[in-house]
Structure 1
Amino acid sequence: MTHPVHTPVVAADGALIRFTLAELLAGRAASMRIDLTDAGAAEPWLTRLAGAEACLAALGEGRGDLPARPELAGLASLLWIRRWWPASTSLGVPALDPALLDLETAVATAAVEELAEGLLDGFEATPAELFDTAVADGALVAAASPVAEEVRGLCGRLAAWFDDQDDVVRAEAAAEVVARLETAPLGQRAYALAAGTDPAAAGEGVLAQGRESVDWARVPPGILDAAEDTVTWRIVAAGATARLEVDVAGAFADAALTAVAIHDGEPFAEVALSLGAGRFTGTAELDEASARLAANVRSGRIALVVGVAGEGVAGTTAEDRAEVVALVRARPPEARTLAERAAATAEDEEF
């Protein structure tokens, strides 16, 4: 089964609409696969989207391949970026502002709702919810300056859409953002990553140590640098006790993160990680059994997982991550989202 990192998808009412990642990131999605999960729920919107003949064919097969609709391709692209974007200073992939992503996703979601009524029934987030998140605590206005004109345009579109939905409060809020940006001073939001440092060289007191990569599927999006080998750890003997020290280089935002040490598939220690200057770090004292294990097991048989360590997570591999990074780095300028354009503009302003 293809890992979700390779398959952009829109979860529709009664169906999954899938796109090819390479085509989507290149801005040239030609087709979309519709896999039906509830034919009765999907039939009304699928008829509006594809016509009666194509709908009947898809209902008969349980699936169908249709020409890609730009509204759905745009939403699928944004949903994928929100979850899997591999931000990394060392890889040259900029971090994206979540408020700008929320705004553009709100507009894209509204466009799909206009395209085929009912397609997004029960969807993960409505345009209203996405807009509320974007403007919370002034985040959108703070992020908007590199692309202020585009943000004004999108907020103007949302104001009109909310007005059509009789959502007067949000229509006024979107119009207020437009007004504020017309008079807002120039500025930019910066993301900083401190350079990583290796743990101390192995020596007296170091029972085990290693370096790991972050599995993107196990951590929240937009939090950690997506490069390989950003996690260093060591188990250090301290008198009659031992402790596990973890350092995760590259942090874009705070989150509740933990690291779990595993031996032969079984966890034996857990460390809560705290955000510092561009990195997450944490230390935990080991119990007697864990300290004894570390003292008697070679480092290569100990693994460290940052984030969710449960077996139910479909993890990414180094090959998965390398393929995605290559596709993102090859992304043409005309396919970029608002948040990507903002990041590129802010980067140019720094130099």
Structure 2
Amino acid sequence: MRFVAESGLWTTEAPRDAVPLTAVLEVSGAVLSWTVDGPDAAVHIAFTDPVRAEWLWRIAGDEGHSAIVTALDAAPEGRLEVEGVTFDAHALAQLRRLALGHWLRRWWPASYRDGIAELDDALLAGELALLTASAEGYFADDTFDSDVAELLAPHAENLTALARLGDPRVGELVAACAELAEDTGVSFETPVVAAQAGTRDDYALVAGAGAAGGAAEAVARGVASVNWAAVPPRVFDAAEGTIDWQVETDGAVATAVVRTQLSGPASPAGIAVHVRSGAITGVGHLDSAGTATVALLDEDHSPVTEMTAWSRDWRETAVRIGVDVGESPDMRDRVRAFARTRLQRFGADTFLAEVLAAESDY
């Protein structure tokens, strides 16, 4: 098996893809990752501390574990071959499913427009907590993905309420979560109202809140897309073209009115909006409805006048939501195709939240 040194860390020489296509799991002493739409994709392991990776024998055997740690400790930076080492596919399948569950919470492309249903985050978190507890041998140290209580606590009330709806699959999952919670100090004693994944009508209302079409006459208008890696999860409709913008004037100065289409429970309030058209720029923030009115400034940082607005060509205008990241529509299309496949064809790594989403009338 070949290892290479990357940014001061030893890693396996396995291909990696763009972040929204990569499922990641941090275990003790290493970060594991897989390309999500490659069912036979090799695991990529980046060792943060090979000595702390005491679980390595579980996937490489005792001799393989010893050979890898010894070789990495002795070798200089560069490339390294460790002969006779292979990874156990069955053991890795458990870890890949855990990584995939975290990916579902972070990158699932819920979209009313595209017909991709939202996944119930409480159910996902509950099942992930159970999977994490069953893989405790990989989490000798605290890691970003190992906190069972952090997974359960925000969803205790919703999980208990969901169990009362009568689906035995949900009831069994919640009962297991409640038993696990006793060991973590999380209370399941205060259910209030059931919070379910959205129905078609729910998402129609949310999507409609971001629809374009103000009363003012537009100087120019256009459409843009949200870069998923630029924004928090579970906020925006994941389809293309969900940002509508138009330049308006009030008789003196010009502003850009930006409206986004939403999907999910999280609020867009406070997320940055950047508008650029040549030397004209503007920065604002979305409100809770996913809209923003952005003051436009010229290259001298003066307000753009009505005359300037009407006389310029706005066709090259770019509108960005969130931080500045590079991301291709083709990559997002791959994620959508992967999500649709998972809703249509269940496998050993399917989560209950996916099953219920596929069964819903979304």
Using the size of structure 2 for normalisation, the TM-score is 0.76
The one-letter code of the counterpart of 1:126 is D
**1:323 is the counterpart of 2:334:** yes
**Contact in 2 for aligned 1:147/1:342 (Cα 8 Å):** no
**Contact in 1 for aligned 2:284/2:293 (Cα 8 Å):** yes
Unmatched segments (≥5 aa) in structure 2: 1-15, 72-79
Whole-Å separation in 1 of the counterparts to 2:323 and 2:312: 24
Deviation of 1:122 (Å): 2.4
Deviation of 1:9 (Å): 1.4
The one-letter code of the counterpart of 1:116 is Y
Deviation of 1:117 (Å): 4.9
Per the alignment, residue 4 of structure 2 pairs with none
Whole-Å separation in 2 of the counterparts to 1:150 and 1:58: 42
Q: Is the alpha carbon distance of 1:125 and 1:286 closer, same or farther for their aligned partners in structure 2, counting shifts above 3 Å?
A: farther
Query: Equivalent residue of 1:139, what SS?
Result: helix
Per the alignment, residue 236 of structure 1 pairs with 248
Residues 182-237 of structure 1, C-alpha deviations (whole Å, 9 max, x = no match)? xx999875432344644479xx9634322101111111111111110111101112
Per the alignment, residue 138 of structure 2 pairs with 116
**Contact in 2 for aligned 1:142/1:189 (Cα 8 Å):** no
**1:82 is the counterpart of 2:92:** no
Structure number with the bigger relative contact order (C-alpha 8 A, sep ≥ 6) is 1
Deviation of 1:40 (Å): 1.9
Deviation of 1:160 (Å): 4.0
Per the alignment, residue 11 of structure 2 pairs with none
Judge which range, 252-261 or 219-228, deviates more.
Answer: 252-261
Whole-Å separation in 2 of the counterparts to 1:240 and 1:303: 23
Whole-Å separation in 1 of the counterparts to 2:234 and 2:242: 15
Q: Is the alpha carbon distance of 1:14 and 1:94 closer, same or farther for their aligned partners in structure 2, counting shifts above 3 Å?
A: same
**Contact in 2 for aligned 1:45/1:116 (Cα 8 Å):** yes
Deviation of 1:20 (Å): 3.0
Whole-Å separation in 1 of the counterparts to 2:66 and 2:280: 51
The one-letter code of the counterpart of 1:341 is V
**Contact in 2 for aligned 1:274/1:282 (Cα 8 Å):** yes
Identity %: 30
Which residue, 168, 176, 181 being the options, matches 1:157?
176
Per the alignment, residue 249 of structure 1 pairs with 261
Q: Give the CA RMSD over aligned residues.
A: 3.3
Unmatched segments (≥5 aa) in structure 1: none
Whole-Å separation in 2 of the counterparts to 1:209 and 1:186: 37
**Contact in 1 for aligned 2:25/2:145 (Cα 8 Å):** no
**1:39 is the counterpart of 2:50:** yes
**Contact in 1 for aligned 2:126/2:177 (Cα 8 Å):** no
Per the alignment, residue 66 of structure 1 pairs with 87
**Contact in 2 for aligned 1:147/1:341 (Cα 8 Å):** no
* Mapping 1:159-174, distance limit 5 Å: 159-163=178-182, 165=183, 167=184, 169-170=185-186, 173-174=187-188
Question: Greater helix percent: which structure?
Answer: 1
Deviation of 1:75 (Å): 0.7
The one-letter code of the counterpart of 1:215 is N
Using the size of structure 1 for normalisation, the TM-score is 0.78
The one-letter code of the counterpart of 1:18 is S
**1:341 is the counterpart of 2:355:** yes
* Mapping 1:138-217, distance limit 5 Å: 138-144=157-163, 148-163=167-182, 165=183, 167=184, 169-170=185-186, 173-174=187-188, 176=189, 190=199, 191-193=202-204, 194-195=207-208, 197-199=211-213, 206-217=218-229
Which residue, 262, 265, 282 being the options, matches 1:269?
282
